[in-house]
Amino acid sequence: MPELPEVETVRQGLRGLILNKTIANVEVRWGKIINGDSAKFTNDLVGETFKEVDRRGKYLLFRLSDDLTLVSHLRMEGKYRVTPQAQEVTKHTHVIFNFTDGTALRYLDTRKFGRMTLIKTGTENQVGGLKTLGPEPTAADFQVADFAQRLRRHKKAIKPTLLDQNVVAGLGNIYADEVLWLSEIHPLQPANTLSPAQIQVLHDNIILELTKAIQAKGTTIRSYTDAYGATGGFQLSLHVYGREGEPCERCGVTIEKIKVAQRGTHFCPHCQILPGSQVSAS
């Protein structure tokens, strides 16, 4: 699933490809992608112009004329491509926005899990998922004191707590493993047992690692590509994710992979020590 750095990279690419383009018509080839009435969705978008592309957590927010916003979540495999309208439509293309200039924005999704919702701009907090999102992982929005307070509410392991988008927006499986390794915190340590020092280090590493991943245009493990079809580069900088069986670059001990809350989780058993025997993977 694209995480915050990948969605931000897609956002930046789309800005250069679709801003100020006007929609001539919309084709919905798989109706379940659209939340609500797909016929109304297509009718309401005719004549609208893309004015900006924003992001909140893992959500893309396409700002349109007439105070409309298209909320898009890519889920597991969603991708956007800008093509000539005459170009052959591929098998996994499910929504097509045809522009008046002869180009088209196409949404592709092999798993068909992605979703789009058309709303009035300013009502984003009424959209399920968006209304409960935690702070953006930036120095301006992500405060240590608030982070500590949110962690104290959770007795479950820190790994699934970080995946909870209500705690901090944008972290997924890859970057949760990475920031825990960087912070030398075991993924099974209960969130409410982290010390103030651990919370500070984890907080800082979340901001730093996601910033670096954005600069590298995201991480490509399986199928992620940006709006131009290019792969990311941050997979070359991963310390622990996908490296089970390899030596930890910090201490040399073999990286292990376990299941935590049904998610594959990578960690170093030497660098990331679980205090006591208090474990809960729920």
Is 243 a catalytic site residue? no
Secondary element (H or E) of residue 91: none
Q: For residues 110 and 46, is the Cβ–Cβ distance under 8 A?
A: no
Q: Which residues lie closer than 8 Å to 94 by C-beta, 6 or more apart?
A: 28, 29, 30, 33, 107, 108, 109, 112, 114
Alpha-carbon span 90 to 47, nearest angstrom:
25
Is 259 a catalytic site residue? no
Is 111 a catalytic site residue? no
Closest by CA to 183, choosing from 172, 173, 196, 192, is 196
* Residue of 27, 51, 263, 269 with catalytic role: 263
Alpha-carbon span 278 to 9, nearest angstrom:
39
Number of CB atoms found within 10 A of residue 137's CB:
23
Secondary element (H or E) of residue 71: strand 68-73
* Residue of 2, 5, 160, 190 with catalytic role: 2
Alpha-carbon span 11 to 50, nearest angstrom:
13
* Residue of 21, 58, 217, 243 with catalytic role: 58
Is 2 a catalytic site residue? yes
Q: Which residues are catalytic?
A: 2-3, 58, 263
